[in-house]
Amino acid sequence: MNFNLSEEQLMIQQAARDFAQTELLPGVIERDNAQKFPHEQVKKMGELGLLGMMVDPKYGGAGMDSVSYVLAMEEIAKVDASAAVVMSVNNSLVCAGLEKYCNEEQKMKYLKPLASGEVIGAFALSEPEAGSDATSQQTTAVDKGDHYILNGTKNWITNGGTATYYIVIAQTDPEKKHKGINAFIVEKGWPGFEIGPKEDKLGIRGSDTHSLLFTDVKVPKENRIGEDGFGFNFAMAVLNGGRIGIASQALGIASGAYELALKYAKTRKAFKTEIINHQAIAFKLADMATSITAARMLCFKAAVEKDEGKDISEIGAMAKLYSSQVAMDTTIEAVQIHGGYGYVKEYHVERMMRDAKITQIYEGTSEIQRIVISRSIAKNS
């Protein structure tokens, strides 16, 4: 087992770190306050190859491995978790699904501009009445021969307002339950497709979350992904990979908060010494460093196994479950170490604490990760 990163991986890590420090850090507090999407920064992320990292260059991607993706995600999320979720959704839920399951025509038309960052994408599975219980899709896609008619509402869609292309999951034949579900590529601006108001969120406020409303939207049959009835399996497969992205986002939030807490503890004095010299603080930092290292190892293992073509449902869910818990615990303690300063915006850690919470909710709550892991353990034991 080799834990050394390759030269290329180290270069990607450094490039993402530099980008985060120079382009994302200035303005991150203002964007959080104003709920402002980082348009310019996301455009530059596309130019750097961060929006289609693992996609084959012939489809506009950067052709990198999944460990590089984990490294870059961590660096971006350390500074700006909102920019990180835009990156995660575009890479893992949109580009990865299109590359693996779309035909050549669909890839040239949709994947190429998405992977190059010319446009961004969104993944629309959740509904007002179907979050964790994803088989209970109420959005319908009625087969009309050469097209489908799409009706329904999707909720909490990341990149909902800024995306150009949307992967939309809908029920075509309720009798067949999850085997009657399909996935479609839907374009912004098609008649009947409306974008609902932006959500006013606790965290990741720089990202753009909306509901989507479909009223008799005509979707050409060539925009269906895969065979009829493949939509639910498609969504599950895509989410398995997506969990590596969110696990890495959570890892980044945790390591960003840890680095700030460490720096603060080495300079802030109380009771005649730097507070890191008090065990009450030093032990918190020791716990943070240990759990962050463990989370990083889980993310790397999931990434390596993904690239080896293994079933990553269990390890991906483990990485997400654990990293998101570490993000929550670490950011709470980072606020505590900062004392009163931790509770004000200028010191960043209060934002990180708010940002951390969503990693335990989206792309499957922690409870869903435990379902995935426990089912896998039961099946494979």
Task: List, by residue number, the catalytic residues.
Answer: 363
Which listed range, 5-13, 15-23, 132-140, 222-230, lies at the site for ligand CAA (CB under 6 A)?
132-140
Give whichever of 19 and 123 is closer to ligand CAA, judged by the CB atom. 123
Q: Would residue 372 be called left, alpha or beta, if left means φ above 0 and alpha means ψ between -120 and 50 degrees?
A: alpha
CB of 125 to ligand CAA, least distance (A): 5
- Residues 69, 101, 110, 123: which binds ligand CAA (CB under 6 A)? 123
How near is the Cβ of 161 to ligand CAA at its closest, in Å? 13
Q: Which two tokens stand for residue 204?
A: 């990741």
CA 44 to CA 340: how far, in whole Å? 35
Q: Cβ closer to ligand CAA: 232 or 300? A: 232
How far, in Å, CA of 295 to CA of 255, rounded? 10
Interface stretch with ligand CAA, choices 7-15, 60-68, 129-137, 267-275 (CB under 6 A)? 129-137
Write the single-letter amino acid at 258. Y
Instruction: Print the binding letters for residues 65-104 with ligand CAA: x by CB under 6 A, - otherwise.
Output: --------------------x---x---x-----------
- Apex 60 CA angle, 56 and 61, nearest 5: 50
Q: Is residue 298 near ligand CAA by the rule CB under 6 A?
A: no
Contacts with 252 (C-beta within 8 Å, 6 or more apart), sequence order: 73, 74, 75, 76, 77, 78, 81, 84
CA–CA dist 247, 70 (Å, integer): 9
Extract the tokens encoding 319: 């990485």
Check binding of 138 to ligand CAA (CB under 6 A): no
- The H or E element that residue 151 is part of is strand 147-158
Q: Does 244 bind ligand CAA (CB under 6 A)?
A: no
Query: What is residue 95's DSSP assignment?
Result: I
User: Which residue in this structure is represented by tokens 């190892």?
Assistant: 297
Among 233, 277, 336, 366, binds ligand CAA (CB under 6 A): 233
CB–CB of 202/224 below 8 Å? Answer: no
Amino acid type, 180: G
Q: Helix (H, G, I), strand (E, B), or coil: what is residue 217?
A: strand
Structural contact between residues 47 and 40, judged by C-beta atoms closer than 8 angstroms: no
CB 130 within 8 A of CB 156: no
Which listed residue (29, 149, 236, 262) binds ligand CAA by CB under 6 A? 236
Residue 161 in contact with ligand CAA, rule: CB under 6 A:
no
Give the footprint of ligand CAA on residues 169-208 (CB under 6 A): 178
**Per-residue interface string for the shown chain with ligand CAA, residues 350-379, x marking contact by CB under 6 A:** ------------xxx---x--xx-------
Residue 240 binds to ligand CAA (criterion: CB under 6 A) = yes
Contact 198, 37 (CB under 8 A): no
Residue 214 CB, shortest distance to ligand CAA, in Å, is 17
- Do 107 and 149 meet the contact criterion of CB atoms below 8 Å apart? no
Interacting residue with ligand CAA among 9, 35, 106, 135 (CB under 6 A): 135
Q: Which stretch binds ligand CAA (CB under 6 A): 25-33, 130-138, 190-198, 262-270?
A: 130-138
DSSP assignment of 257-303 equals: HHHHHHHHHHH-EETTEEGGGSHHHHHHHHHHHHHHHHHHHHHHHHH
Sketch the per residue contact string, 306 through 345, with ligand CAA: x for CB under 6 A, - otherwise: -------x--------------------------------
Minimum distance of ligand CAA from residue 311's CB (angstroms): 8
Q: Among 76-84, 125-133, 181-189, 268-276, which window interacts with ligand CAA (CB under 6 A)?
A: 125-133
Q: Give me the residues that bind ligand CAA (CB under 6 A), please.
A: 85, 89, 93, 123, 125-126, 132, 134-135, 158, 178, 232-233, 236-237, 239-240, 313, 362-364, 368, 371-372
